[in-house]
Amino acid sequence: MRNRIIVTLAFTALAVGFTSPAQADQPKIGTYLVGDWSMAGQIDGEKFTGKMAVGRLADGQSLLYEWSGKVNGIVTQGTLLGGIDPGSGKVVEHAFAESNHFTNTYDKVLEDELGKATGKRVGTVNGKPFAGDIVVDRTSHDRFTYTVSSNGNVTVHFVFERIGKVGPDYETLKAMEFFIGDWEATTTVQEDGLDLGDLYQPGATENRYETWYWIEDKNYIGVKFGGEIDGKEAHTGFEMVGVDPKSGKVVHWLFSKLGGSGTGTWKIGPKELRLNWNYRTAAGNFLKGVAYHKVVDEDTYTWQIRDMTEDGKKLADTPVVTLHRVKK
C-alpha cells in the first residue's frame, strides 16, 4: 500500500512552466509552477489531500518538487526533479521512491497560454511495469488538473490550486466556493423553450456540463458550460462572476457561441442563490430572467430559470435541472 502511494504521488509535476535553456538570455524554467500549491483528488479511488512546493535548482535550469499528504490517514511525502532533455528538447521528469522509478515525458510546454498538454508515464511499481497517459489541463494561472490513465482507467486525478494568491474580492466571492469544480446533468428540451439552434428539438436529450474555477488570484470565478445532443456539440459559452467595486455586489457576465452578451447581479443566500440576468442576442432581441441555484447537498444542486421574457413577451420557466458534481 505504502509503495503504491509513494510512487503514484511522485509524479505531480506538470508540463507547464518550462523554457528551454538553450539560450542564456531566455527566461529560466518554472515561471508558472514555482510556488506553493494545494492538492486534492484521488488515487485509485481513494481520497488524497496534500500540498506541493516547487523551487528552482541549477541556476533555474531544473525544478525541485516536494510534496506531502495523506491517503486514508497514511502520511506520504517525496521529491521529484524536472527539466529539459537536451536531446529531444522535451520536458522530462524523474522520480525515485524506494524500489520504484517513473519517468514522465510531455508533448509540449504550457507557459503563457491556458489549455491542455499530454504526456506519457513509464516505470515500475513493486517490480511490475507500468505505462500510462497523462493529461494536464491548465484552466487559469492559479489552477490546473492532472490526470493519469492506464488501460482506459483513471488511476490518479488531482486538482492543484495556488496557495497564498488571494485577491481582495475573494472574501466576497468565497460564499460561492461550493460551485468550484466540474458538474454534469441530463435534460430534455422543452416545447416552448429558448431557440438555441437546430439541435434543440422538443423531446431531445441534452447532456450538459459545467466547470466553475477560480481565476486571477480568486478575484473572479470563470464558468465554462456546454452540451451535447445526439453526439454533437450543442450550445456552449463562457460566464464570469466578479464584484462591482462601487456597489460591492456580486455581478455576472454572460457570453455565448450564438453571439451577443449579457450581465447580471447575484443575491446570495446559504442554500439558494439567485441570478437576475439580462442578455442581448446577436439578432438584437432582449432576454431577461432569474436563474435559481439551490444547494441540495455537497455534490448536488438544482438550477431553473423563472420569470423569463423575450422583448417583453413572457416565456415558460425552464424545467428544474439537477446537476451532480463530477468525481474523477
Does residue 176 carry a pLDDT above 90?
A: yes
- Main-chain phi, psi angles of 25, to 5 degrees: -90, 5
Query: Given pLDDT bands bounded at 50, 70 and 90, which one contains residue 193?
Result: low
Which region among 139-143, 192-196, 250-254 has the lowest average model confidence (pLDDT)?
192-196
Bridge partners for 313 per DSSP: 310
pLDDT (average), residues 144-155: 91
pLDDT for the residue 6: 39
Q: Do 256 and 240 share a structural domain?
A: yes
Q: Do 155 and 58 share a structural domain?
A: yes
Does residue 222 carry a pLDDT above 70?
A: yes
Q: Give the model confidence (pLDDT) of 241-273 as tens digits.
A: 999 999 999 999 999 998 999 999 999 998 999
Q: Give the model confidence (pLDDT) of 40-92 as tens digits.
A: 999 888 898 999 988 877 666 788 888 888 888 888 877 888 887 777 778 88
- Check if the beta carbon of residue 241 is closer than 8 Å to that of residue 173: yes
| Contacting residues for 101 by C-beta, under 8 A, at least 6 apart | 94, 95, 123, 124
Q: Do 285 and 146 share a structural domain?
A: no
The C-alpha cell at 91 is 520536458
Torsion of CA 167, 172, 173, 178, to 10 degrees: 130
Residue scoring higher pLDDT (18 or 44): 44
pLDDT for the residue 98: 56
Bridge partners for 120 per DSSP: 105, 133
Q: Which domain holds residue 76?
A: 2-162
| Segments in the chain forming alpha helices (H) | 2-9, 170-173
- Main-chain phi, psi angles of 86, to 5 degrees: -65, -25
Q: Do 185 and 151 share a structural domain?
A: no
Percent of the chain with pLDDT over 90: 44
pLDDT (average), residues 92-109: 75
pLDDT for the residue 97: 62
Q: Do 231 and 105 share a structural domain?
A: no
Query: Which of 115, 142, 162 finishes a domain?
Result: 162
Could you tell me the CATH number of the domain that includes residue 195? Answer: 2.40.128.20
The count of structural domains within the chain is 2
> For residue 82, how many other CB atoms are within 10 A of its CB?
26
Q: Do 316 and 181 share a structural domain?
A: yes
Q: Where do we find the cell 513493486? A: 126
Query: Given pLDDT bands bounded at 50, 70 and 90, which one contains residue 13?
Result: very low
The C-alpha cell at 52 is 506541493
Residue scoring higher pLDDT (237 or 5): 237
Query: Given pLDDT bands bounded at 50, 70 and 90, which one contains residue 109?
Result: low
Query: Which of 108, 140, 162 finishes a domain?
Result: 162
- Main-chain phi, psi angles of 277, to 5 degrees: -130, 160
Q: Do 224 and 157 share a structural domain?
A: no
Q: Do 102 and 174 share a structural domain?
A: no
pLDDT (average), residues 152-167: 87
The amino acid sitting at 27 is P
pTM of this prediction? 0.57
Could you tell me the CATH number of the domain that includes residue 54? Answer: 2.40.128.120
Query: Which of 110, 142, 162 finishes a domain?
Result: 162
Q: Do 187 and 156 share a structural domain?
A: no
| Dist. CA 194–CA 179, nearest whole Å | 25
Q: Do 311 and 182 share a structural domain?
A: yes
Query: Given pLDDT bands bounded at 50, 70 and 90, which one contains residue 34?
Result: confident
Q: Do 223 and 269 share a structural domain?
A: yes
Distance of CA 167 to the CA centre of its chain: 19
pLDDT for the residue 22: 39
| Dist. CA 284–CA 68, nearest whole Å | 54
| Dist. CA 206–CA 235, nearest whole Å | 10
Q: Do 189 and 106 share a structural domain?
A: no
